[in-house]
Amino acid sequence: MSKKLFGIIGAMDIEVDGLKATMKNMTTEVRGGIEFAVGTIGEQNVVVAKCGIGKVFAAMCAQTMILCYSPDVVINTGIAGSLSNEVGVLDMVIAKDVVEYDMDLSAGGFGNPVGKIPDIDEIHMKCDESIAASLAKVADSTGIKSFSGTIASGDTFVADSKKKRWLSDTFGAIACEMEGAAIGQICTFRKVPFSVVRSISDGGNEDAAMTYAEFAKLAADNSIRVLKAFLEKQQ
């Protein structure tokens, strides 16, 4: 049986460099202005890319990865802000689904609910359940507290308690970031299974910038540790 190819996307160097450091037989090539690292982690074939911050870069990277490498699974890894009092800094959130909170066609005659994406006709784009369950199991085995729930993506660093409450109340989201749902939209449209795994760097409130500065690297390392362990356990 041929092994799967796992496509892994992070927005920043701190979210992917630790994975690339563990890769064997690694080669790199630039496609569409994005550097892709191809090799193995454990016994698994992987292609790893830093997409850049924000939904446009994330979507561009996911589309290029799918067209050029045809991964069986795409996993978005990195850090996020918490939208729940139960989810603390350095905890892990593994998405059951993702939403684009700044997609808004509620006016202009469209009448769509906020977050609903045309041509996909979804607000909550579902992640692959088996991958999410495996990631949660691995997180627990490494001693990292994990939560399953909705992750909300938009082109804003959330550092506002009012916005934090709106995201939680409107979408039931427990974490927020800037790439996962854009990757989810591409994967949903292209019918590629995907997952989003994020370690919490801040609380999404007025203290978020200071907390992020202190914990971003530690949170990114947690996400890398879980993803690396997940890949090494795959058969």
What residues act catalytically? 15, 202
CA atoms of 18 and 89, how far apart (whole Å):
20
Decide: 96 and 172 in contact? Cβ < 8 Å.
no
Side-chain half-sphere CA neighbours of 225 within 13 A: 16
Q: Report which DSSP code applies to 27.
A: E
CA atoms of 220 and 15, how far apart (whole Å):
5
Decide: 86 and 57 in contact? Cβ < 8 Å.
no
**3-state DSSP helix/strand/coil % of the chain, to nearest 5:** 35, 30, 30
Please give the C-alpha separations between residue 110 and each of 40, 154, 188, in angstroms, as whole numbers: 46, 21, 22
CA atoms of 14 and 19, how far apart (whole Å):
10
User: Which two structure tokens, joined as six digits, stand for 180?
Assistant: 């996962």
Amino acid letter, residue 186:
I
CA atoms of 109 and 105, how far apart (whole Å):
8
Decide: 142 and 225 in contact? Cβ < 8 Å.
yes
CA atoms of 66 and 7, how far apart (whole Å):
8
